[in-house]
Amino acid sequence: MTLISNIKYNGVSQSFRSSSSLSSSGIDVVQQVEAKYPALLFKQQLAAFVEKIYGILRENMKNDLSPLLSSCIKEHQTGNDNSEPTGSWLNIIECLNRYFKILKENYVPPVLIRKVFNQTFQYINAEIFNSLILQKECCTFNNGEYVKSGLAELEVWCTEATEEYIGPSLDELNYSKQAVSFLVSEKKDELSYDDLTNDICPVLSSQQLYRICTLYSDENDNAKSVSSDVTSRLKLLMTDDTGDDEQSYMLEDNSR
């Protein structure tokens, strides 16, 4: 044992010859140097394990929410003109509550809970916004009122869950909220370019604004969208190579 200790000591002493903090005991030096490598390995494995669990949890949550969001979109398409929150929106709230309860009961740190819900709300925002600007039957006044009621439910949920656990997740819904604000606004044909870009939809790009303005329709009284002057100005700001490309106005799901 003494021989092995001396060999190990001789091997490591060359690397740490300049250090004055080494013990005069060869065994002490071996323990000090070798112990840090398993600790670093454990730290790396633990970090990888947490990242893997986090990814699985995030994807499971998105998979559970996906059919619920689809139901919300289809629910209005099948003739539901009710602007009040329906079962599908309430099911989304129940899903959020279920995961929130699991995370808290398992003592997940608030910083990780905030990250989970921040990315979840990014996903919800992309799904809702893209449905509004891709499907003509969704880009209507009535559907705007319907989605507005659902977004209000999500806002109430965030308030009740508190900022400690949710953080600024609600801000991830800004694209959907502003698109809905346009859909439910009165007298769209009287809106100026500045009204649209500065007051109602400041975060939307020119491509997104042009798309929603030209796709909009009112199933009740055929109310007009914005004036041709506004759409012409928006079109001038759009680049030729992305004007009609879906990728230019769709939101990407950055929650991965």
59 has pLDDT over 80: yes
SS3 185: coil
Higher pLDDT, 215 or 81: 215
Confidence of residue 12 (pLDDT cuts 50, 70, 90): very low
Q: DSSP alpha helices (H): ranges in the chain?
A: 2-13, 26-77, 87-105, 110-134, 141-161, 163-166, 174-183, 193-194, 206-215, 228-237, 246-249
Residue type, 103: L
Mean pLDDT of 106-131: 94
Provide the mean pLDDT of the chain: 82
Confidence of residue 39 (pLDDT cuts 50, 70, 90): confident
What does the pLDDT read at residue 85? 58
What does the pLDDT read at residue 240? 52
Task: Give pTM, 2 decimals.
Answer: 0.79
The secondary structure element, H or E, covering residue 137 is none
Q: What is the DSSP letter of 216?
A: -
Q: Rounded to an integer, what distance in angstroms lies between the CA atom of residue 145 and that of residue 80? A: 11
Geometric angle at alpha carbon 189, from 185 and 190, rounded to 5°: 85
Contacts of residue 37, defined as CB under 8 A and 6 or more positions apart, other chains included, come to none
What does the pLDDT read at residue 72? 87
| CA 70 from centroid of its chain's CA atoms | 17
Higher pLDDT, 246 or 249: 249
Residue 76 near residue 146 (C-beta atoms within 8 A) = yes
What does the pLDDT read at residue 238? 82
Distances (CA, A) of 22 to 31, 37, 102, 229, 237: 11, 17, 48, 79, 68
Mean pLDDT of 102-126: 94
Geometric angle at alpha carbon 239, from 181 and 193, rounded to 5°: 35
What does the pLDDT read at residue 13? 37
What does the pLDDT read at residue 36? 65
| CA 2 from centroid of its chain's CA atoms | 60
The token duo for 242 is: 């992305």
What does the pLDDT read at residue 76? 62
25 has pLDDT over 60: no
- Tell me phi and psi for residue 8, to 5 degrees: -65, -40
Map tokens 């840090």 to a residue. 36
SS3 217: strand
Confidence of residue 28 (pLDDT cuts 50, 70, 90): very low
